[in-house]
Amino acid sequence: MGARDMKYITHLLSRYGRALLFGAWFYALIGLLPQGYQTFLRPEFGGLLAVGLLALIGFLFSEMGQFGHDRPFGLNEAIRLLILTVPLAYLPIARTASLDSNAFQRRWTGLSASPDEKTLMSTNTALDISALNTERVREVTLADLCRMPRAYKNRRLAVVGMIHRAPDIKKRFGDNACVLFRFVVTCCAADAMPAAILLIGEVPADWPNDTWIRAEGQFALRDDQGKPMPTLELSKATRTAKPRRPYLY
Amino acid sequence: MNLFGITNAPPVPKIEPEKPQGTLDWAKDIRFSSWNDRIPEEPAFRPLPWGRILILLLALAALLLPFLIRDDAGIRMFALVFVSIILEALPFMLVGSLVGGLIEEFVSREKFTVRLPRRPWVMVCIAAALGIVFPVCECAIVPVVRRLVRKGLPLSAAVAYLLGGPIVNPIVATSTLLAYKFNWIVPGIRLAAGYAIATVVGLIMGRLFMRRTALLETHDSHAHSCVCGHAHQAHKKLPSRIFAAIRHASNDFSAVAHYLVVGAAIAALAQTVVDRRLFLNCASLPLLPSLLMMLLAILLNLCSDADAFIAASFRGLLSLPAQMAFMLTGPMFDLKLLLMYRTLFHRRAIIVLAGLILFSVFIVTAILEMIWGRGT
């Protein structure tokens, strides 16, 4: 590539570089907008993305309105354009990814009910619903269980999540123990926190980590070194497909 | 002659070199001579900008990496977190840039400066609480403040709004309240401490720096070159003013957004590598958990609307002051903000600002630890 070609490319980028960039981002956001963005963000962000898209259209038109003019184009502008293109290159991989055991290991801070729940457990008996009918299996989410474990104590529950087997869990709770987890998203996948319970029972050994299962059993709060630990004593485990929305909100 | 062999002769007057006509008198504007900006000499030859070439190559490598390694679990998680952070911040940044563009085009500098309170400390106190009326997260606030500064907002008030806006606002109060299960004390402490830090740091920055030594000149390739200060926009028709506002917004976005991308990449890397349980090993030591939580806040680059939920996940494991250190540091100073501040401040001002923020947060958490104890 000669100096003349370089000059021509620089000329093209100075005139159309930003418009191309905004166009590429516009295309990416349009592709994400119906529902695809929910891989990254909670559903309510759709409206915000639409607003952002409108702003981007404005920027695109503004750049197209200046097609006839050369703007100064140096190394700094080239770096800016290149850096702003980088996320677009990661978008295809990111769209097929979801938070899994790998993320769970990094973000998990341990199994126990929150301190509020602990206080509630020792002082408040009004919410004790363990005496209610426990025969019927109730479908709950892991987020519900982690937010209000006391409300589900001693009940027969069915819950969907991914399994995670770790040596330290086996060491502490026995060979038939593993963790059932799912991520709870506040705004985006970056702030997702694992909601996890201990699973005690026979989960087929050939099911690897991150297998989606529907676990059915008796929910309990076990005492673990003075801390209440949400536990499901497994009576039945079945493999299920990955939910349409893998995260909880 | 005295004991040291020095004669008591009158001091020889220092001969100042004659100042060339037309140069700026920097000394008038700078209080600390050691911080003087040097006027760069014209180089005899222009060396290759190796630093920028290196950045260009790194950006190119980052661009190609996902095409070379597709199936690695680490890179998939990195990609997910990286894109998530950007998609979450993008609408706020675009809207923030638009607000900045509208301020530039529709708010006249004269009217704006006339309406500011006369007393600087009053202005700082109001600016730090402005987020209650104009709630903006930390991604959107930088373009807005850039434009407000251009309109004549003083440095101290700009810093106070920059730091206070993302914390002292109703959205953050609500999310903190929800994260801490309607325990009013936590959002109360968060907002009060955030306000106090924003005010104090704003006032100190105003004392330490002059406007010119702290704030960068924001160049807008589309702004006309007239410096008379009059509101020429008033002569334009509404559609062309709106179009001009969008042009300003587009320039602002292009000037700031690449810092967001770099910050998001570093944060995604940290999220892919750092194990949060490591932070729990030092929970019983004094002040160290607070320092580590400050570090975590800097690395994670979370939105101030969501960070309370992450802080709340450490309940029962780390003390409330340590959680508060996380919630106060993130909205004021994290990696992406550090990079975005480069579009607003000179490097020295950023270093001092960062030091002041971190020191203030540390002091606040130390006071909280004295009052609250290290209990979880």
Counting one residue from A and one from B, how many pairs have CB atoms under 8 Å apart?
Answer: 200
CA-based torsion, B70, B74, B75, B77: positive or negative:
positive
* 8 Å CB contact between A204 and A213: no
Which parts of chain B sit beneath pLDDT 50?
Answer: 1-40, 221-231
Q: Which residue has the higher pLDDT, B131 or A88?
A: A88
The answer to ipTM > 0.90 is: no
In chain A, residues 174-203 whose CB comes closer than 8 Å to chain B = 186-191, 193
Instruction: Kindly state the average pLDDT of the residues A41-68.
Output: 86
Portion 295-314 of B in contact with A at CB < 8 A: 300-303, 305-307, 309-310, 313-314
Please check whether residue B321 is in contact with residue B368, taking contact to mean a CB–CB distance below 8 angstroms: yes
Least confident of A22-26, A121-125, B213-217, B227-231: A121-125
Is residue B375 packed enough to be buried (19+ CB in 10 Å), middle (13-18) or exposed (0-12)? exposed
DSSP secondary-structure letter at B3?
A: T
Q: Which residue of B has its CA nearest to A184?
A: B309
- Residue B128 has what pLDDT? 92
User: Greater confidence, A48 or B356?
Assistant: B356
Inter-chain touch B75–A188, beta carbons under 8 Å: no
CA distance to B137, B157, B229, B374, per residue, from B164 (Å): 10, 10, 29, 27
- The residue in chain A having the minimum alpha-carbon distance to the alpha carbon of residue B180 is A116
| pLDDT exceeds cutoff 70 at A64 | yes
Q: Give the pLDDT confidence score for residue B2 in this predicted structure.
A: 44
The per-residue DSSP string of B324-368 comes to: HHHHHHHHH--HHHHHHGGGTB-HHHHHHHHHHHHHHHHHHHHHH
pLDDT score of A132: 47
Rounded average pLDDT over A136-149: 86
Within 8 A by CB and 6+ apart from B367, the residues are none
Determine the angle formed by the axes of helices B185-208 and B170-179, rounding to 10 degrees: 140
Task: Return the half-sphere exposure (C-beta side, CA atoms, 13 A cut-off) of residue B227.
Answer: 3
CB B201 within 8 A of CB B163: yes
Of B167 and A135, the one with more pLDDT: B167
Residue A84: pLDDT band with limits 50, 70, 90? very high
Unique residue bearing structure tokens 């999220």: B271
pLDDT of A68: 65
Question: Which pLDDT score, from 0 to 100, does residue A149 have?
Answer: 85
3-class secondary structure, A119: helix
Please tell me the distance in Å from A233's CA to the nearest CA on chain B.
Answer: 25
pLDDT at A19 over 80: yes
Among A100-114, A181-195, B155-169, B255-269, the minimum mean pLDDT is found in A100-114
Do the Cβ atoms of B67 and A89 come within 8 Å? yes
Is some CB atom of chain A closer than 8 A to the CB atom of B280? yes
The residue of chain B nearest to residue A56, with distances taken between CA atoms, is B94
Structure tokens at A52: 């952002």
Taking CB atoms and an 8 Å cutoff, what residues of chain B touch A63?
A: 250
Confidence at A126, pLDDT banded by 50, 70, 90: very low
Buried b (16+ CB within 10 A) or exposed e, B152-167: ebbbbbbbbbbbbbbb
Chain B residues within 8 A of A31 when measuring between CB atoms? none
Answer yes or no: is pLDDT of A88 > 50.
Answer: yes
Residue A228: pLDDT band (50, 70, 90) is confident
Out of A102-111, A156-165, B15-24, B114-123, give the one with best mean pLDDT.
Answer: A156-165
Buried b (16+ CB within 10 A) or exposed e, B232-243: ebeeeeeeebbb
- Residues of chain B with Cβ-Cβ distance to A100 below 8 Å are 73, 77
The Cα of B96 is separated from the nearest Cα of chain A by a number of Å equal to 10
Are B247 and A62 in contact (CB < 8 Å)?
yes
Alpha-carbon span A174 to A154, nearest angstrom: 21
Residue A86 and residue B59: Cβ atoms within 8 Å?
A: yes
pLDDT at position B270: 82
Number of alpha carbons in the 13 Å side-chain half-sphere of residue A197? 33
Summary mean pLDDT of chain A: 83
Give the residue from A221, A217, A216 showing the smallest Cα distance to A153. A221
Q: How far apart are the C-alpha atoms of B324 and B308, rounded to whole Å?
A: 9
Q: Which of B64, B303, B314 sits opposite A109 (nearest CB)?
A: B314
* pLDDT at site B85: 86
Q: Are strands A212-224 and A193-200 parallel, antiparallel or unpaired?
A: unpaired
How far apart, in whole angstroms, are the C-alpha atoms of residue B91 and residue A54? Answer: 10
pLDDT-derived band at A241, boundaries 50, 70, 90: very high
Interface of B with A in 250-279 (CB under 8 A): 250, 253-255, 257-258, 261-262, 264-265, 267-268, 271-277
A225 close contact with B: CB closer than 8 A: no
